[in-house]
Amino acid sequence: MLRAFLILVCLAASPAFAQTMHHHAMMEAGDGGPITPTQGGQGAFAAIQEIVAILEADPKTDWSKVDIEALRQHLIDMDAVTLRSESKTEPVDGGVRFVVTGAGPVRDSIRRMIFAHAATMNGVGGWRMSAAEIDDGATLTVLAPPKDATKLKALGFIGVLTLGMHHQMHHLMIAKGEALRP
């Protein structure tokens, strides 16, 4: 009995056995159908993959205008601002000013993202947004209606950048060559 157990353990540890079991699991689900992965992996890759699938499904796609590299560059900006920038919040009358800084390419990404977001979202929901360049980045001043003061404070800089469901369509427009990358 122990010998059979040890043989089974050795087989389970072998790459060939593991590959066979993995293949079996991928090919059969409980209902007999295939199991397929749904995640595109890394977030930017998945976003690009989603846009390419939309473009491929649209018979009206003008492939001579498609620029997936522009979308990739925009996603690099999003990554840099989200993960590599520093932000400080300063209170101003009626809202806050976010002072967002970074060096080199991060600084450039900050400027592109903040100016684009302020231009797109200014006035939406009664929130006023303005951007200004500083030596190592940019500021985003956000003035919100009094009823939204707590929400503004809770969102902070990156939360404010996520406001508005325009991002997905913006990505599609960049890829189609219909919008300038900020």
CA distance 120 to 164: 9
Tell me what the pLDDT averaged over the chain comes to: 85
Query: What is the SS3 string spanning 93-116?
Result: CCEEEEEEECCCHHHHHHHHHHHH
Neighbours of 174 (CB within 10 A): 24
Q: What is the pLDDT of residues 103-137, one digit of tens each?
A: 999 999 999 999 999 998 999 999 999 999 999 99
For residue 31 the two structure tokens come to 């209902």
CA distance 182 to 120: 11
pLDDT-based confidence at 141, cuts 50/70/90?
very high
Residue 168 is predicted with a pLDDT of 85
pLDDT-based confidence at 1, cuts 50/70/90?
very low
Strands (E), the chain: 86-92, 95-101, 128-134, 137-143
